[in-house]
Amino acid sequence: MHRIVDNRDRSLDPGVKPLDKLRGVIDIGSNSVRLVVFDGPSRVPFPKFNEKVLCGLGRDLGSSRVLGDEAMEQALTALRRYSALVNSMGVERVIVAATAAVREADNGAEFVAEVEQECDLNVQVLSGKQEARYAGLGVLSGMPYANGIVGDLGGGSLELVKVGDHKVLKAASLPLGALRLSRMGMSDDQLNAYLHNLMEDVDWLEEVKGKNFYVVGGAWRALARYHISKSGHPLNIIHNYKLTLPQMKAVIAEVITMSEDELRAVPLVPKSRVATMKTAALIMEQLFELIEPKGIVFSSNGLREGLLYSELKKNVRTRDPLLEACRDMAAREGRFAEHGEEIFRWLLPVFARVGEKGQRLALAASTLSDIAWSMSADYRAGQAFRRIFRAPFSGIGHKGRAIVALAVYARYQGNLEGHALEDGLALVSEEDKRHAFSLGLALRLAHSLSGGVMGILPQTRLTVTEDRLILSVPSELSVLLGVHVDSRLRALAEIQDKVCAIEIVEN
């Protein structure tokens, strides 16, 4: 368990090191041109500004080898704006990457030259394999333990990436973009045959058969939003949204038979994606015939995040994205950036049997357990829950974020009651709820005993036996004991089905 806590170069901690300067990525895609400006620590940058314009540079890739004049002018207009914005924001590093439409078009080089001259931007035209590699790295940046195949469906191409052991292993790029194919006028049977023939040329797909499929790309993410809307899932966050193969196949079957008007009427489905959703579903269906995935995991990270991740040093890449994001939030919003790890070490004896995954969530909750200190007391619990439950965290699933949010709510409130919790409770089992409540009560006791001050908890100790929970306190700190500490120790012992005791230790 020490590996989870201590594998860090503390000079990199957000509480010690000032936040990195702004970084920007401009993605000149086949469907859209987008600018994202990232803030925060290098390992877990989060979007501070995010804007796209649907230019359709790859609209005619299936029938023409040139970029259309209207699409290029729309893209140039957007890029002039983005260049002005990054200069005004003082963005230190701007990566500009162009993908399938520009690399395939006969006039792509001419378009790039015009962009560089008019917008003062250095454009990198990615090869298909480069685009695939960065998409794979993007997924790994948010899901370090991803093991299987990444599929990134863009407007002009489909990138397939084998990932495992924290790295990109193999990559391929196919001319199967959702925008490109939707405008080629093929029947469903013709399209399926075309897809199958091209996918069969990827000779390593057999190696990822039966493993997880990690989904990237707006057209495919629209399928996830469709399922979230239709199923009433309580959290509208795409990252780490997981479906079983039968669930995903059911979504595909439904979308294929629906009209654009019917899709447009589904809440949460982006209207801009409706025209390509059927094509996207057919592409996924054909891919599933070859790889038969174990499960489907949607990723909000992709090419842009991969470009940033590729520039990180190895010792930064290996850091846990969830814990880094929690430390950053604690540094920004808590009183003491390091107090969370001190609390975690103190309460660890109570949760020694929950396993590494459970202890990782306990560390995340400990780190975030003071983020609502500046709120009005009546609103701290609810605000903390909402802040954590909806935060743009990587490296955590929907159930995991619910457990952490519920635990911090209980840290402030002392119970798991109230309408604010309904969405979180809907994602967990009774056992998970009990664990979250127990963790929250342990955090509540820790903050009560220490008063939020660092250095006190390490002088005390929690001991767990088969039927007892013992708090040992040195005699010189016995003045910190009182009715609040006593009642909160009893509450923690009760949820653990134990009897509590306080032991005063003489030096």
Q: Is the pLDDT of residue 218 over 50?
A: yes
Confidence of residue 336 (pLDDT cuts 50, 70, 90): confident
Say whether pLDDT at 53 is over 80: yes
Instruction: Place 132 in a pLDDT band, splitting at 50, 70 and 90.
Output: very high
Question: What is the percentage of the chain residues whose pLDDT exceeds 90?
Answer: 87
Per-residue pLDDT band at 182 (split at 50, 70, 90):
confident
Q: In the predicted model, is pLDDT for residue 11 greater than 70?
A: no
Higher per-residue confidence, 403 vs 1:
403
- The proportion of the chain whose per-residue pLDDT surpasses 70, expressed as a percent, equals 96
pLDDT tens digits, residue range 246-286? Answer: 999 999 999 999 999 999 999 999 999 999 999 999 999 99
Separation of alpha carbons 128 and 486, rounded Å: 63
What value does the mean pLDDT take over residues 161-175? 96
**Cα 141 from Cα 44, distance rounded (Å):** 8
| Kind plus residue range of the DSSP H or E element containing 413 | helix 398-413
What is the arithmetic mean of pLDDT over 470-498?
Answer: 96
Tokens of 300: 């909000």
Q: What is the pLDDT of residue 199?
A: 96
Which pairing describes strands 295-298 and 212-216: parallel, antiparallel, or unpaired? parallel
Asked if residues 328 and 392 have their Cβ atoms less than 8 Å apart, the reply is no
pLDDT band at 495 (very low <50, low <70, confident <90, very high): very high
User: Does residue 89 have a pLDDT over 70?
Assistant: yes
State yes or no: pLDDT of 87 exceeds 50. yes
Mean pLDDT of 291-317: 95
Contact 418, 405 (CB under 8 A): no
CA distance 279 to 5: 46
Tell me the mean pLDDT in the region 436-463. Answer: 95
- Distance of alpha carbon 104 from alpha carbon 60, whole angstroms: 11
What is the model's pLDDT at position 64? 83
Neighbouring residues of 116: CB distance < 8 A, sequence distance ≥ 6 = 122, 123
Please, which residues have CB within 8 angstroms of residue 211's CB and are 6 or more apart in sequence? 147, 148, 149, 291, 293, 294
pLDDT category, 20, cuts 50, 70, 90? Answer: low
The whole-number pLDDT of residue 42 equals: 87
The beta strands (E) that lie in 142-256 are given as 148-153, 158-164, 167-174, 212-216, 241-244
Q: What number is the average pLDDT over the span 78-107?
A: 96
State the pLDDT at residue 476. Answer: 95
User: What average pLDDT score do residues 339-361 get?
Assistant: 93
Position 507 scores a pLDDT of 74
CA 55, 59, 60, 62 torsion: positive or negative? positive
